[in-house]
């Protein structure tokens, strides 16, 4: 698997980005302001991640997704590890990520990759998304915020 920066003349893989974030409007906004990386295998795009500088010395992993038929193979973990490594190389002191309270697998993955829970943005998904979101039989209401020091 190769991970590379999306070329300026390439369209971002919206189908993949929408797996992690159902809002095309929000995706378009942070794609414009951040760095989009794609993971390829045998010439096929199989994953994506977006890093967005948010505050001095801090970057946020705002989107990470793997093709449905490629999930469960450790690709998501490799993408998260790439994001952490990329943030370190760029000189950031911290990397943050936010995910839904219903995203049980993602919360576990981020903790396995060294992230720690730092807060909850109550009703984030109620305020920012028109459609209700359900995962794992749970309504996605709150954003769980996680962070990792890169020093």
Other beta carbons less than 10 A from residue 10's beta carbon: 11
CA–CA distance, 13 with 76 (Å, rounded to integer):
16
Q: What angle separates helix 104-112 from helix 75-89, to the nearest 10 degrees?
A: 50
Q: Are 30 and 6 in contact (CB under 8 A)?
A: no
With a cut of 90, say whether residue 151 has pLDDT above it.
Answer: no
For the chain, how many structural domains are there in total?
A: 1
CATH of the domain at 36: 3.40.630.30
Residue 140: what pLDDT?
A: 97
Write out the residue range of the structural domain in which residue 11 sits.
Answer: 2-149
Model confidence pLDDT, tens digit, residues 99-131: 999 999 999 999 999 999 999 999 999 999 989
How is residue 69 annotated by DSSP? G
CA–CA distance, 134 with 99 (Å, rounded to integer):
13
């Amino acid at each position: 698997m190769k991970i590379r920066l999306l070329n300026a003349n390439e369209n971002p893989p919206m189908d993949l980005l929408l797996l992690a974030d159902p809002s095309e409007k929000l995706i378009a906004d942070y794609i414009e302001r951040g760095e989009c990386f794609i993971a390829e295998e045998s010439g096929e795009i199989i994953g994506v991640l977006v890093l967005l500088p948010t505050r001095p010395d801090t970057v946020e992993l705002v989107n990470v997704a793997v093709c449905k038929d490629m999930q469960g193979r450790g690709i998501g973990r490799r993408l998260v590890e790439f994001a952490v490594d990329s943030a370190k190389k760029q000189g950031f002191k911290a990397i943050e990520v936010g995910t839904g309270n219903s995203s049980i697998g993602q919360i576990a993955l981020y903790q396995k990759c060294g992230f720690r829970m730092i807060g909850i943005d109550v009703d984030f998904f109620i305020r920012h998304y028109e459609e209700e979101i359900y995962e794992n039989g749970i309504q996605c209401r709150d954003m769980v915020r996680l962070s990792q020091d890169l020093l």
